[in-house]
Structure 1
Amino acid sequence: MGCRDMEKCEEAAKDIRGTTLNPHVYACHLDLASLKSVRQFAERMKREQQRVDVLINNAGVMRCPAGRTEDGFDMQLGVNHLGHFLLTNLLLDQLKESAPSRVINLTSLAHVVGKMDFVDLNWEKRKFDTKQAYCQSKLANVLFTRELAKRLGGESAGGRGVGVCGREYGLGARW
């Protein structure tokens, strides 16, 4: 498990180990607002884990005030999308080697009203709108998930490769 707050991460990992009786639940630092942290986490996974069977991209921020990640991206786009995008791509070879494996990207219904402004992803040329920034980040999740599934051969990949699917919070909807 990759988490920004290691105290909460250790507590959650302990609970999961106790509930599932699986001793192989590890807590590792990961700050999705830092591409350096994402790269360090991926390198650690490659070094310490032989397999990556499932990657669940679930972390995020919602409707926060205007702000920037360590790398200068809009906070919501950076944390909700770019961090997951980079992590998935850095672990993709390991996911392929562990096939059949799966990538699950969680998002929200907010993607429906999201609009991608490829000219101004970072809200530098227009007035910042926390709701629209969030919706844009969620739409980016959906677009990435669909393209990744297409490139890897569909949602389930027929058990031959890396399956990719998306889920929306609260609705259990799949796309």
Structure 2
Amino acid sequence: MASDRTKFRNSLFALFLFSINFPFEGGRVILACRDIAKGEAAAREIIAETGNQQVIVKKLDLSDSKSIRAFAEDFLKEEKKLHFLINNAGVMMVPYSKTADGFEMHIGVNHLGHFLLTFLLLDRLKESAPARIVNVSSLLHAFWRINFKNLQGEKYYNELLAYCQSKLANVLFTRELARKLQGEL
């Protein structure tokens, strides 16, 4: 069993290193950002560090399903391949607010936004295999449960618990996605 764990850790580490080094290898990198100015600053840093000029910034607001759908539609028109989808955006411990679609902000951005984006791009990932989906979560996922009776935080609201709940949703989604896609990517 220890060797299986070591293999798993090594494969995760290799994937992590590859995702960091992808721009160094000349891969086309699309930064999907809510704040274009911050995205362009990050793109300049990546270009300066790697020399890869193929770093593009696109508008994506994970708190709005219209923005997610527009991004995915444009992506699918413009890009023929997708080998890596890294779902890393999120909000953390923000005061109670709702997404454009009426969801509590943490669950809406951190989970539902990534869920929708992944769903919309999944066929392109399958067509581009080998491909990988990386969902960034947090150790805080282990400190709470999904409270379906108060999923939207309308009965009571705690910023930390809302964040933990959204990160647990990421982990559960990732596990189920891995199970369903086994051998397809």
TM bucket (normalised to shorter chain) is: 0.7 to 0.9
Structure 1, unmatched stretches of 5+, are 163-175
Which protein has the bigger helix share? 2
Distance of 2:144 and 2:65 partners within structure 1: 24
Deviation at 1:68, TM superposition (A): 0.4
Deviation at 1:71, TM superposition (A): 0.5
Matched to 2:65, the amino acid is: L
Distance of 1:148 and 1:142 partners within structure 2: 10
Match of residue 87 from structure 1? 117
Match of residue 48 from structure 1? 78
How many pairs are equivalent?
155
Give the one of 155, 159, 167 matched to 1:130.
159
Matched to 1:78, the amino acid is: G
1:98 correspondence with 2:128:
yes
| Other structure's SS at 1:119 match | helix
* Runs of 4+ more than 6 Å apart: none
The farther-off stretch of 13-22 and 25-34 is 13-22
1:145 correspondence with 2:177:
no
Deviation at 1:96, TM superposition (A): 0.4
Deviation at 1:44, TM superposition (A): 1.1
Matched to 2:136, the amino acid is: L
Match of residue 76 from structure 1? 106
Partner deviation per Cα, 1:101-132 (whole Å, 9 max, x = no partner)? 000000101100121122331112x2111111
Structure 2, unmatched stretches of 5+, are 1-30
TM-score, length basis structure 2 = 0.81
Match of residue 33 from structure 1? 63
Identity %: 53
CA RMSD between the two structures:
1.0
Larger Rg: 2
| Other structure's SS at 2:103 match | coil
